[in-house]
Amino acid sequence: MSRGGGRGKFRWWPIALFGVFLIYYYFSNQQEVPLTGRKQLVDISQEQEMALGLQSYRQILSQSRVISQGDVVDTVRAIGLRIAEAAADVDPGFQWEFNVINSEQANAFALPGGKVAVYSGILGVAKNADGLATIMGHEIAHAIARHGAERLAYQKLVQIGSMAASAAVGGMDINTQRAVMGALGVGSQYGVLLPFSRKHETEADYMGLVFLARACFDPIEAPRLWQRMGKLSKGAPEEFMSTHPSHETRIRQFQEWMPMALKIRESYCDSRGNRVLSPTPGVNVRREAERVRM
């Protein structure tokens, strides 16, 4: 089961066991992302994920300066609930909660279960309700698509794969072991985890655009928002080294999706920009998602 090498023996059985586990684990934990239809790997229940999200959310809020009331809070909650309502057909039953954190960070996040927070530092970049809807639609999409649970599953696979690789090179000298494990670490980071994270961001951009268009916000503001974000992000790493697509990539993708988003808005909204209860037949959003190879 092993083959000699110049610097020690490489054990093949840990790799073989990991391969068998990988095949079983992958195909026994498949789910489907709403709207896009992408197959994803999730190995915890929705209830477990929501409990983890609520715990993390409470901890973050307890350590932050939360703005409890005021026009900003009312606006964020109104926009969030409006988008969540527009996503009701794919909402698994989240208890949506929207809070504003007093911070200079130009950021926002969503945790499993519909727990969303917006940092006050991003409001100036959002500039208007449509820009804020772009940000919040993106975060709401992360929660609905279960990206957090999927990320945990892939991190587990990488950890188990690293353990298998460590056992496989255990018979080699220490310098060779370090070199192999270092190369595997770099490979998993740049070849698996970072591209995987960028795929999540692209999927959340797409789904968020659909949601905000359904909620009768103006999708044209989405690429404008990322133009403004780009001006704030000087010295950002190259895309292949980042967890997020570049601003240029996101702007281009939003422009490609714009005809679809405008058709959705026209289908769901009346001439005054109010959402109608029975939208007219619109574009097939899953077909559009498959076209851009989500």
Where is 34: in which H helix or E strand?
Answer: none
Please determine, for residue 99, whether its predicted confidence score (pLDDT) is greater than 90.
yes
- By annotation, the residues acting in catalysis are 139
The torsion of the CA quartet 270, 271, 273, 278, rounded to 10 degrees, works out to: 0
Domain boundaries, the chain: 41-291
Proportion of the chain above pLDDT 90, given as a percent: 60
The position carrying tokens 């959002």 is 126
265-287: per-residue pLDDT in tens? 999 998 888 888 666 666 777 76
42-52: per-residue pLDDT in tens? 999 999 999 99
Of the candidates 124, 175, 142, which has an alpha carbon nearest to the alpha carbon of residue 244?
A: 142
Please determine, for residue 256, whether its predicted confidence score (pLDDT) is greater than 90.
yes
How many CB atoms lie under 10 A from the CB of residue 113? Answer: 25
Burial degree of 262 (CB within 10 A; 0-12, 13-18, 19+): middle
The position carrying tokens 């058709």 is 263
Please determine, for residue 4, whether its predicted confidence score (pLDDT) is greater than 90.
no
pTM score of the predicted model:
0.84
